[in-house]
Structure 1
Amino acid sequence: MSDGEYVRYVALGDSQTEGVGDGDESVGLRGWADRLAEHLAAVNPSVRYANLAVRGRVAGQVRAEQLGPALALRPDLVTVVAGMNDLLRPRFEAAEVAGHLEEMFAAFTDAGARVATLTFPDIGKVIPLARPLRSRVSVLNDRIRQAAGRHGVTVAETAAHAVTADPRMWSADRLHAAPPGHARIAAAFSHALGLPGSDDTWTLPLPPGAATTGRYGPAAELRWSAAFLGPWLVRRLRGRSSGDGRTAKRPGLERVISEGAPGGPSTPEAGGRPAT
């Protein structure tokens, strides 16, 4: 199947793939996977799209809960993004996480689907308190690349570009991409997959905008800790997850309504090329 001719796209993952940070519960979540599906639909209106991602899921849960239903949909394009929730937990084994990812890579490629994944940005630049976890990110990214290489999986190298750590790319909780971040991730996948109309503009710095100085100062860190870190820690201590009781937002293949032209971000709001 040539680039742009995909007709059944299925997305697996956690909150980023679900779209948290891009929209809200009242109007619905969009997210990078929805944006990628819109690009696919602009190229091929017959495309159908399912999103099985559920927030809070670790890689093992994504494999256990989403792999079977995804295979049953007989996708010809699959995105698999998981592991960030594993990184943030006290017990983290990169080999175990990568093993879950590789099992999914193998299952989908054996079924004839094209598979794409991504590498994770330096979370220490986004969450200063998470700087001790930088080595985890690096090790996991290396293992993702190795597993992808063994199965011919396409990798969107978001880790390689500084723009992914720009504060404007992230929502207030610093755990989820903001709309410009979701737009860039979608564009990164489009570019990695070689979709018509895609290019490397997603790698460029955001246009000059509001100053972010002080966003990570002591007062800001206290506010962030109270609003986001504290509740997250409480859930962990109670053995709870933000995804408890939730199911996939789009469990079946459905038509896609394209909200933009191919090529990913093309406006400042979406994080496109700066005006010259």
Structure 2
Amino acid sequence: MQTNPPYNSLVALGDSFSEGMSDRLPDGSYRGWADLLAARMAAAGPGFRYANLAVRGKLIQQIVDEQVEVAAAMRADVVTLVGGLNDTLRPKCDMTRVRDLLTEAVERLAPHCGQLVLMRSPGRQGPVLERFRPRMEALFACVDELAERHGALVVDLYGAPSLADPRLWDVDRLHLTADGHRRVAEAVWQTLGHPPEDPEWHLPPEATLPPRWAARRVADARFARQHLLPWIGRRLTGRSSGDGLPPKRPELLPYEVR
């Protein structure tokens, strides 16, 4: 008889992807795939604990400096690490440095957790993906190498057709919708050895008629005004959307499902 793996604690590290943007709850806070995964793991057995150290906008150096040592000290059964993608989107990105920092993070975390989980992050179809694809794929090659070397699991979200579908991305075109986060939680759940609840998470939603040309142009203008220009402004001034924000769950505590 198949039994669920005995995972009693989870710690998530990273940036906005692991924080849960843009899976917004009615109270204005963000849920996201890590919270959804924690809820499933909590339901599987008593005494489950969860921490989420992720903060939007963090670069891999900040993740190493601010999150890795804290997570290693928690000695959780499962640690998820997703970082480096924000670096690849910067105009000036030293991929050798990104690779070295990701390696440092994995080497510091792997000995101090039961199971380390890494990810090949999802990429939305479109010109942004094509522009930065070589950097992203170099990052994912590093992820694969580190996983093999340190016994980490890799969740391949980059290769999932569903998560390339623009319909699963929020209006800011940087973060997944609630359905996108649900699919990521399912992917991690299965990778950890649990029986699938949605075996077809990787398949895109049913086909729908594309929006008309005028609607697309209105959406493009709204995106540029509300998201692209502020993002460029932060890059030019050296600011981040996460400046001054604390982690969403800084301590490894029992998780109550909301």
By the TM > 0.5 criterion, same fold? yes
Secondary structure of residue in 2 paired with 1:79: strand
Check conservation: 1:86, 1:97, Cα contact below 8 A.
yes
Structure 1 residue 73 and structure 2 residue 79: aligned? no
Cα displacement (A) at 1:220: 3.2
Quote the residue 1:262 is aligned against. Answer: none
Bigger shift: 4-13 or 23-32?
A: 23-32
Structure 1 residue 182 and structure 2 residue 189: aligned? no
Check conservation: 1:235, 1:241, Cα contact below 8 A.
yes
Query: Cα distance 1:229–1:112, how it changes in 2: closer, same or farther (>3 A)?
Result: closer
Check conservation: 1:214, 1:220, Cα contact below 8 A.
no
Bigger shift: 50-59 or 131-140?
A: 131-140
Secondary structure of residue in 1 paired with 2:244: coil
Query: Cα distance 1:69–1:213, how it changes in 2: closer, same or farther (>3 A)?
Result: farther
Query: Cα distance 1:52–1:112, how it changes in 2: closer, same or farther (>3 A)?
Result: closer
State how 1:54-73 maps to structure 2 within 5 Å. Answer: 54-73=55-74
Cα displacement (A) at 1:91: 1.5
CA root-mean-square deviation: 2.2
Query: Cα distance 1:112–1:78, how it changes in 2: closer, same or farther (>3 A)?
Result: closer
Quote the residue 1:167 is aligned against. Answer: 166
State how 1:162-241 maps to structure 2 within 5 Å. Answer: 162-198=161-197, 200-209=199-208, 211-212=210-211, 214=213, 217-241=216-240
Structure 1 unaligned spans of 5+? 260-276
Bigger shift: 242-251 or 15-24?
A: 15-24
Secondary structure of residue in 2 paired with 1:50: strand
Identity of aligned residues (%): 38
Query: Cα distance 1:213–1:3, how it changes in 2: closer, same or farther (>3 A)?
Result: farther
Quote the residue 1:143 is aligned against. Answer: 142
> CA–CA distance in 1 between the matches of 2:157 and 2:189?
12
Cα displacement (A) at 1:222: 2.9
State how 1:82-93 maps to structure 2 within 5 Å. Answer: 82-93=83-94
Bigger shift: 5-14 or 114-123?
A: 114-123
Q: What CA deviation, in whole Å up to 9, does each residue of 1:86-116 have, x standing for no partner? A: 1110111333223222222222221242010
Check conservation: 1:3, 1:193, Cα contact below 8 A.
no
Bigger shift: 2-11 or 107-116?
A: 2-11
Structure 2 unaligned spans of 5+? none
Quote the residue 1:12 is aligned against. Answer: 13
Cα displacement (A) at 1:209: 4.6
Q: What CA deviation, in whole Å up to 9, does each residue of 1:115-174 have, x standing for no partner? A: 101102334x1x434531121112211121111111111000111121111122111101
> CA–CA distance in 2 between the matches of 1:212 and 1:96?
41
Secondary structure of residue in 1 paired with 2:232: helix
Cα displacement (A) at 1:211: 3.6
Cα displacement (A) at 1:198: 4.7
Check conservation: 2:78, 2:113, Cα contact below 8 A.
no
Secondary structure of residue in 2 paired with 1:75: coil
Bigger shift: 14-23 or 90-99?
A: 90-99
Secondary structure of residue in 1 paired with 2:65: helix
> CA–CA distance in 1 between the matches of 2:67 and 2:6?
24
Cα displacement (A) at 1:214: 4.4
Check conservation: 1:11, 1:79, Cα contact below 8 A.
yes
The number of aligned residues is 256
TM-score w.r.t. the length of structure 1 is 0.85
> CA–CA distance in 1 between the matches of 2:183 and 2:11?
19
Check conservation: 1:119, 1:158, Cα contact below 8 A.
yes
Q: What CA deviation, in whole Å up to 9, does each residue of 1:178-230 have, x standing for no partner? A: 10111111111111111244563211221345644649944433331122110
> CA–CA distance in 1 between the matches of 2:212 and 2:146?
39
Quote the residue 1:243 is aligned against. Answer: 242
Bigger shift: 20-29 or 77-86?
A: 20-29
> CA–CA distance in 1 between the matches of 2:102 and 2:158?
18
Secondary structure of residue in 2 paired with 1:4: coil
AA in 2 matched with 1:184: R
